[in-house]
Amino acid sequence: MNFDIPSELSQQINSAHDFVKAQLFPIEQQILHGDFFAQESQLNQLRIEVKQLGLWAPHMPKNEGGCGDSLMQLALLSEVLGQSPIGHYVFGCQAPDAGNMELLHLFGSSDQKQQWLKPLVSGEIRSCFGMTEPENAGSNPTMMSTTAVLDGDEWVLNGHKWFTSSADGAQLCVVMAVTDPNADTHRKASMILVPTQTQGFELVRNIPIMGDTGSGYFSHAEVRLNNCRVSQKNLLGEIGSGFSLAQQRLGPGRIHHCMRWLGICRRALNLMIEYSKSRAINSKQNLSQMQTIQTWIADSAAEIEAARSLVLQTAWQIENKGFKEAKVAVSMIKYFTANVLQQVLDRALQSMGGLGMTDDTIIAFFFRHERAARIYDGPDEVHKMVVAKALLK
Ligand SMILES: Cc1cc2nc3c(=O)[nH]c(=O)nc-3n(C[C@H](O)[C@H](O)[C@H](O)COP(=O)(O)OP(=O)(O)OC[C@H]3O[C@@H](n4cnc5c(N)ncnc54)[C@H](O)[C@@H]3O)c2cc1C
């Protein structure tokens, strides 16, 4: 393994870092706590600046309109962008769009690419991904109830989804639905492209997340599909390939998420350090001179470095040996990094006392929304089971 960073990539990372710090840190709170749609033009202006810097859509190949970054390059960039909750959005590589773009790039027909991939990469439209259902365990998606039945040359979809992130204002939903209930378990479902304007596509509500409902990109929807009819041509990939496509989507996605979480960790650690240095705790000392705080700082730094090495090693494994070889490592980084994130955020919040509970710093937003890191893309327990089973075997 060689983790040397070529000078071109170093420049890209530094320039992204400067942009995030100068342009995003000062406005992120206003964006996060206001109405998304009312602030979209401000975000679009920032997106234009990112395009001018040549840093737009790093996850997409150059011929599709992106920067063509490798997985390792993207991992390092994701860490920088993760420092602000609006970082990935402003750079055009936000979840769930990034995963959907990767799917369309790899498996979309030329018509699908023209209709959906092009405007997604350019940032003209947004998309969402509808797999999880309130009535069934998302940890075992083979239990899915949503169906898509062929009627003439149309798919008719019926079902109930939730946690369809960013559905509010999205133009496209990539829906996982059972297309053949009699097929083998992992061949039952397919992915179907459903425009959200389709009759019967009902956005029931944006779900409050620990008291924060959000809007637009920053929201998670409950959705009903009531006899939604779309063309047969809206099938993504082959019939029955839904789970295999989902795996392809999640592999690199977990590297991006983990590095984004490590960006959050760094931000939280920096804020904890700054606050502890500035907070007088008695007439002679400030908080940073207390051993407990020093322990929190030292533990956080070591945990961040350990998680970072593990994630980069896993990215290297995927790039050099393929996803199959890295499957256990991918599970390991998912729960390990998500728990480091939770610990570091908790220490940062605690170190700030009452201030940590307020929205006067970014910590409370991260604390509220990133608790989910231990749940989405597979809860801790499922990933630990994968690792333990491999070791037991
Ligand atoms: C903020 C957020 C955003 C999301 N975005 C999306 C999205 O865009 N699209 C989408 O389709 N889904 C999305 N999800 C859904 C997410 O993928 C599911 O919540 C996740 O897969 C878990 O499924 P579940 O909620 O049904 O929990 P369940 O499957 O009911 O599991 C509940 C709990 O049981 C435990 N558990 C589960 N399996 C096992 C096991 N085998 N052994 C021991 N314990 C176990 C775990 O602790 C788990 O947390 C999102 C979720 C959140 C919180």
Q: Select from 341, 342, 376 the residue to mutate for testing ligand 1; criterion: most ligand atoms less than 8 Å from CB.
A: 376
* Mean pLDDT on 356-376: 97
154 and 219 together in one domain: yes
Ligand 1 atom with the shortest distance to the CA of 131: 11
250 and 331 together in one domain: yes
What pLDDT does residue 5 have? 85
- Tell me: the pLDDT tens digits for 80-116? 999 999 999 999 999 999 999 999 999 999 999 999 9
Spacing, Cα 78 to ligand 1 middle (Å) = 23
For residue 3, name the pLDDT band (cuts at 50, 70, 90).
Answer: confident
Q: Domain boundary at 217, 236, 255, which?
A: 236
- Tell me: the pLDDT tens digits for 295-317? 999 999 999 999 999 999 999 99
pTM of the predicted model over 0.75: yes
Residue whose CA lies nearest to ligand 1 atom number 30: 137
336 lines ligand 1 (CB under 6 A): no
Average pLDDT, the chain: 96
Residue whose CA lies nearest to ligand 1 atom number 1: 372
299 and 259 together in one domain: yes
8 A C-beta contact, residue 57 and residue 41? no
Q: Is residue 348 part of a domain?
A: yes
CATH number at residue 177: 2.40.110.10
For residue 392, name the pLDDT band (cuts at 50, 70, 90).
Answer: very high
Residue whose CA lies nearest to ligand 1 atom number 37: 139
220 lines ligand 1 (CB under 6 A): yes
Spacing, Cα 376 to ligand 1 middle (Å) = 5
Q: Is residue 117 part of a domain?
A: no
- Tell me: the pLDDT tens digits for 233-272? 999 999 999 999 998 877 778 999 999 999 999 999 999 9
**How many H helices and E strands in the chain?**
14, 8
152 and 213 together in one domain: yes
Residue 24: give the domain boundaries.
7-108
Measured on CA atoms in the order 335, 336, 337, 343, is the torsion positive or negative?
A: positive
Identity of residue 87: G
Collect contacts of 139-146 with beta carbons under 8 A, ≥24 apart. Answer: 139/378, 139/379, 139/381, 139/382, 141/176, 141/189, 141/243, 141/246, 142/185, 142/186, 142/188, 142/189, 142/243, 144/176, 144/177, 144/178, 144/188, 144/189, 145/178, 146/175, 146/176, 146/177, 146/178, 146/225
For residue 324, name the pLDDT band (cuts at 50, 70, 90).
Answer: confident
* Mean pLDDT on 276-292: 97
Identity of residue 10: S
**DSSP annotation string for 11-48:** HHHHHHHHHIIIIITTTHHHHHHS-TGGGHHHHHHHHH
- Tell me: the pLDDT tens digits for 124-152? 999 999 999 999 999 999 999 999 999 99
131 lines ligand 1 (CB under 6 A): yes
Q: Is residue 116 part of a domain?
A: no
CATH number at residue 371: 1.20.140.10
Residue whose CA lies nearest to ligand 1 atom number 52: 376
d(CA 1, CA 48): 36
381 lines ligand 1 (CB under 6 A): yes
Spacing, Cα 375 to ligand 1 middle (Å) = 5
For residue 323, name the pLDDT band (cuts at 50, 70, 90).
Answer: confident
147 and 199 together in one domain: yes
For residue 2, pLDDT beyond 90: no
8 A C-beta contact, residue 296 and residue 373? no
For residue 6, name the pLDDT band (cuts at 50, 70, 90).
Answer: confident
139 lines ligand 1 (CB under 6 A): yes
What pLDDT does residue 247 have? 85
- Tell me: the pLDDT tens digits for 179-225? 999 999 999 999 999 999 999 999 999 999 999 999 999 999 999 99
Q: Is residue 118 part of a domain?
A: no
Tell which phi-psi region holds residue 148, choosing left (phi > 0), alpha (psi between -120 and 50) or beta: beta
305 and 359 together in one domain: yes
The proportion of the chain whose per-residue pLDDT surpasses 90, expressed as a percent, equals 93
Measured on CA atoms in the order 373, 376, 378, 381, is the torsion positive or negative?
A: positive
8 A C-beta contact, residue 377 and residue 253? yes
248 lines ligand 1 (CB under 6 A): no
Burial class (CB in 10 A: 0-12, 13-18, 19+), 144: buried
Q: Select from 261, 370, 375, 377 the residue to mutate for testing ligand 1; criterion: most ligand atoms less than 8 Å from CB.
A: 375
Q: Select from 94, 126, 132 the residue to mutate for testing ligand 1; criterion: most ligand atoms less than 8 Å from CB.
A: 132
What pLDDT does residue 336 have? 98
Q: Domain boundary at 236, 263, 296, which?
A: 236
176 lines ligand 1 (CB under 6 A): no
For residue 329, name the pLDDT band (cuts at 50, 70, 90).
Answer: very high
Q: Domain boundary at 236, 257, 272, which?
A: 236
250 lines ligand 1 (CB under 6 A): no
Residue whose CA lies nearest to ligand 1 atom number 19: 376
